[in-house]
């Protein structure tokens, strides 16, 4: 069992929100290519701690993905999983 070293946490670099970095104010559900980056192979939304998004943009992204699924731009699950 590995013990938690305080220096170990300092080495990890925090991810920067892509939307804040590129100064994108709104996330559109029409942009399928961008939304697919934040969905894994099974069709689940990638969580904020892994994607590195800020809380505001993660909420906007989640809403956009759900809207795109509802309009059938993005499938709810992948074809392989079915």
**Residue 12 falls inside a structural domain:** no
pTM: 0.78
**Residue 4 falls inside a structural domain:** no
- The pLDDT assigned to 20 comes to 93
Residue tagged 């079915």 (tokens): 82
Write the DSSP assignment of 18-72 as a string of letters: HHHHTT-----TT-HHHHHTTB-TTSPBPPHHHH---HHHHHHHHHHHHHHHHTT
* Total domain count, the chain: 1
Please give the average pLDDT of every successive group of 10 residues along the chain, which has 82 residues.
63 82 93 94 92 95 96 84 53
CATH number (domain holding residue 27): 4.10.640.10
């Amino acid at each position: 069992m590995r013990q938690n070293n305080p220096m170990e946490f300092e080495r990890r670099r925090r991810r920067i929100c892509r939307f804040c970095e590129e100064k994108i104010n709104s996330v559109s559900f029409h942009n399928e290519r961008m939304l697919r980056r934040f969905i894994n192979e099974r069709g689940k939304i990638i969580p904020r701690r892994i994607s590195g998004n800020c809380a505001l943009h993660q909420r906007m992204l989640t809403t956009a993905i759900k809207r795109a699924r509802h309009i059938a731009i993005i499938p709810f699950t992948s074809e392989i999983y079915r």
